[in-house]
Amino acid sequence: MKRDIITNEFVVKFANVNGTGSASANKLFSRSVFRMGVPISPKNIFPSNIQGLPTWYEVRINEKGFLARRGGIDVMIGMNPQSMQRDIAEVEKGGYFIYDSTKPLDPGWLRDDIDFIGLPLTEKCREMYEDPRQRQLFRNIMYVGALVALFGMEIDVVKQLISDQFKGKEQLVAPNVKALETGFGLAQDSYPCPFAFRIARRNNVGNRILMDGNEACGLGAVYGGGSVCAWYPITPSTSVIDNFSRYCRKFRIDSETGAKNFAVVQAEDELAAIGMVIGASWNGARAFTATSGPGLSLMQEFLGLAYFAEIPTVLIDVQRAGPSTGMPTRTQQSDIITAAYASHGDTKHICLYPSTPRECFEFTATAFDLAERFQTPVLVMSDLDLGMNDNMSDPFEWDDARTYDRGKVFNRDDLENMQERFGRYLDIDGDGVPYRTYPGTHPTKGSFFTRGTSKDEYAIYTEAGEKYIGNMERLLRKWDTASEYVPKPTHCTTDKPCTVGVIYYGTSEAATREALYHLNNLHGISLDCLGIKAFPFTREVQDFIDSHEYVFVVEQNRDAQMRSLLINEFDYNPDQLVPLLHFDGSPITARFIRHEIRDWILQTTTTPRRRRK
């Protein structure tokens, strides 16, 4: 096959069996590319299972910095016989399929439009290692070594990463390096190296970092001053808590006494988890939980209490594919409406939609400020794609002069000097936000009864209609005030006259931005776009929609939930907002968005992913 050399712009996918230690080998590969200054975007595609089922790791390598899933595979490392047939089928024309040639390939699976490279990995491992576990683990490192040869990468970068990785366990460095070099040699013996896809050093990473969103949220909760964490294990949010705990152990344990400046409680279920968060927040601590769709469903009743009784609550929702148990290890943006209007009765909650690890970090830290400022739940709406995959991100920053916004709280002196009666729900400042007191503040002033029932300004139970309405309308005033405090949307406007806009949020950002770039370059279609970062929607969101004839709303769910939210909040004509929906559980691709918008605009189709009427 005659081939062009393609450098730093392709997609590599690893097909493995889960529970075989392949994840760390695959990560070693992607980090090596990253260290060579080439932007990458790895995605874990894994089953809801611990051992034995197919799992994939897809790495997009792109020196231009496009980090969404592109769609299509150029080089497949097929290490799992279970999935091999479809793995071969998935390779794009002109690609490569690399496999373990210890067992011959089924001739019926061969294709003549791709090249096959067989490496006798298992055979070599049998020769070199006695221990079956070692055979399995080193086979993974061997294929990494082979890729280093095939892609023409710098092997020293990989060796350095191995020694970084085993800091403190130096005896493991040499055997791993040996396996790496063995794989490197096997590739050279089997195929002319390097082959047509190349990875060459660039300086396109800058000072950016590679981190998953859950670690970023966990770290954001540490920096944001979260001191009480209550949670119940659920995929894909569990590692938010793991990371919060890990960083707390590092930074929040008194070196003299060993006492902890934090509390993490693993609750008996999500109802208890959110109850503990509300109890702790009511009592003046910064508290949070992390969960996913099923947990969010269970927390509904309590979220209504926190809204109505006005108790700060921080919740990180790492969304996964629903409904019900859905696809627990696949991604979606499908809790948008559930989160925005969680609980019975008239409720609305502040939601933040991070797109990158840096936003996960910042929004989580900010969520505590917003929750305490507005005495209400704040939901950070991450998802599995962002939460569990390494994402390239701008480095995190913190201003040491930053102080926590603890909101409106009367302290002992305030109460001591107060002449009038304390009114927990009095709108003193006219912004809808009342003053609260922490329990135990003053011997005779400032106590009140917190309740989920209707109450007057002094927290006294009432069913009087006008009191109820006054309170509900004050909550709306508070909501309007909040819209001035939440993160503003990001804008990206074209310099050409443009009547069509695109709205995205969360993890649809990278794919949308890339699609717009190609629409402009390949098809001459240039569009304005806006990334929503928060609910309540800020003025800018409305202005953006108002200034375009129609607007695509890109999202990863079936029912166009953000579009519904926009229509519901702003009374838009539904025709003005065109849904563009991807919801198969995989991260949305740039290719998909580009094709849908192109076809709509060129009118080859009139209903792209449109809901049936």
Partner 1 sequence: MSYKIPGFRHPNLPKNELGYTTKDYEGAVSTLCAGCGHDSISAAIIEACFEMSIQPHRVAKLSGIGCSSKTPTYFLGNSHGFNSVHGRMPSVATGANMANRNMLYVGISGDGDTASIGMGQFVHAVRRNVNMVYICENNGVYGLTKGQDSATTDIGSKSKKGEPNALEPINLCAIALQLGATFVANSFSGDKSQLVPIIKAAIAHQGFSFINVISPCVTFNNVVSSTKSYDYIRQHMASTNSVDYVPPASEITTEYEPGTTERVTMHDGSVISLHKLDPNLDIHSRRSALEMIYEYSAQDKVLTGVLFIDPDADEIHKTMNTTTTPLRNLTEKELCPGAAALETINELHR
- By CB under 8 A, which span of 122-130, 187-195, 266-274, 498-506 interacts with partner 1? 266-274
Within 10 angstroms of residue 476's Cβ, the number of other Cβ atoms is: 12
**Number of residues forming the site for partner 1 (CB under 8 A):** 77
**Choice between 195 and 363, CB closer to partner 1:** 363
479 forms part of the interface with partner 1 (CB under 8 A)? no
Asked whether the beta carbons of 386 and 364 are under 8 A apart, the reply is: no
Distances (CA, A) of 451 to 99, 456, 476, 606: 63, 11, 19, 52
Residue from the set 105, 128, 200, 271 that interacts with partner 1 by CB under 8 A: 271
Residue from the set 135, 246, 252, 610 that interacts with partner 1 by CB under 8 A: 252
416 forms part of the interface with partner 1 (CB under 8 A)? no
**Choice between 193 and 460, CB closer to partner 1:** 460
- Give burial (CB, 10 Å; 0-12/13-18/19+) of 380: buried
Cα separation of 76 and 69, whole Å?
15
- By CB under 8 A, which span of 151-159, 249-257, 492-500, 593-601 interacts with partner 1? 249-257
404 forms part of the interface with partner 1 (CB under 8 A)? yes
Q: What string marks each residue from 293 to 332 as x (binds partner 1 by CB under 8 A) or -?
A: --------xx--x---------------------------
6 forms part of the interface with partner 1 (CB under 8 A)? no
Kindly compute the dihedral angle of the four CA atoms of residues 525, 528, 532, 537, in this order, to the nearest 10 degrees.
Answer: -130
State the DSSP code for 409: B
565 forms part of the interface with partner 1 (CB under 8 A)? no
407 forms part of the interface with partner 1 (CB under 8 A)? no
Contacting partner 1 within 440-459 (CB under 8 A): 440-444, 447-453
Contacting partner 1 within 29-88 (CB under 8 A): 34-35
251 forms part of the interface with partner 1 (CB under 8 A)? yes
**Choice between 86 and 404, CB closer to partner 1:** 404
CB burial of 87-111 (b: ≥16 within 10 Å; e: otherwise) equals bbebbeebbbbbbbbeeebeeebee
Residue from the set 49, 261, 325, 521 that interacts with partner 1 by CB under 8 A: 261
463 forms part of the interface with partner 1 (CB under 8 A)? no
Kindly compute the dihedral angle of the four CA atoms of residues 151, 156, 160, 163, in this order, to the nearest 10 degrees.
Answer: 100
16 forms part of the interface with partner 1 (CB under 8 A)? no
DSSP letters for 415-445: HHT--SPP-TT--SSSSS---B--TTS-SSS
Cα separation of 9 and 285, whole Å?
48
Q: Residue 116 forms beta bridges with which residues? A: 97
- Which residues have C-beta within 8 Å of that of residue 306, sequence separation ≥ 6? 274, 278, 281, 312, 313, 376, 377
Cα separation of 123 and 203, whole Å?
39
**Choice between 442 and 474, CB closer to partner 1:** 442
**Choice between 271 and 337, CB closer to partner 1:** 271
**Choice between 150 and 219, CB closer to partner 1:** 219
The tokens describing 613, both together, are 């009427």
Q: Left, alpha or beta for 371 (phi > 0: left; psi -120 to 50: alpha)?
A: alpha
Q: Residue 611 Cβ, how far from partner 1 at the closest point, in Å?
A: 35
575 forms part of the interface with partner 1 (CB under 8 A)? no
Nearest to residue 521, comparing CAs of 600, 601, 594? 594
**Choice between 312 and 536, CB closer to partner 1:** 312
Indicate the residue type of 345: G
Helix H or strand E segment including 93: strand 91-100
Q: Residue 192 Cβ, how far from partner 1 at the closest point, in Å?
A: 33
Contacting partner 1 within 419-438 (CB under 8 A): 437-438
Q: Residue 142 Cβ, how far from partner 1 at the closest point, in Å?
A: 26
93 forms part of the interface with partner 1 (CB under 8 A)? no
Q: How far apart are the first and last CA of the chain?
A: 49
Residue from the set 155, 193, 200, 267 that interacts with partner 1 by CB under 8 A: 267
**Choice between 189 and 269, CB closer to partner 1:** 269
Asked whether the beta carbons of 91 and 115 are under 8 A apart, the reply is: no
Q: Residue 10 Cβ, how far from partner 1 at the closest point, in Å?
A: 23
546 forms part of the interface with partner 1 (CB under 8 A)? no
Contacting partner 1 within 117-156 (CB under 8 A): none
Residue from the set 8, 281, 471, 564 that interacts with partner 1 by CB under 8 A: 281
487 forms part of the interface with partner 1 (CB under 8 A)? no
Q: Residue 27 Cβ, how far from partner 1 at the closest point, in Å?
A: 12
Nearest to residue 240, comparing CAs of 387, 137, 394, 419? 387
**Choice between 24 and 283, CB closer to partner 1:** 283
Q: What three-state secondary structure class fits 375?
A: coil
Q: Residue 545 Cβ, how far from partner 1 at the closest point, in Å?
A: 37
Asked whether the beta carbons of 407 and 430 are under 8 A apart, the reply is: no
161 forms part of the interface with partner 1 (CB under 8 A)? no
Q: What three-state secondary structure class fits 246?
A: helix
Strands (E), 213-261: 228-231
Cα separation of 242 and 250, whole Å?
12
- By CB under 8 A, which span of 111-119, 182-190, 402-410, 559-567 interacts with partner 1? 402-410
**Choice between 205 and 577, CB closer to partner 1:** 205
Asked whether the beta carbons of 17 and 53 are under 8 A apart, the reply is: yes
Contacting partner 1 within 193-232 (CB under 8 A): 205, 207-211, 219, 222-223, 225-228, 230
259 forms part of the interface with partner 1 (CB under 8 A)? yes
- By CB under 8 A, which span of 53-61, 69-77, 281-289, 534-542 interacts with partner 1? 281-289
273 forms part of the interface with partner 1 (CB under 8 A)? yes
**Choice between 101 and 450, CB closer to partner 1:** 450
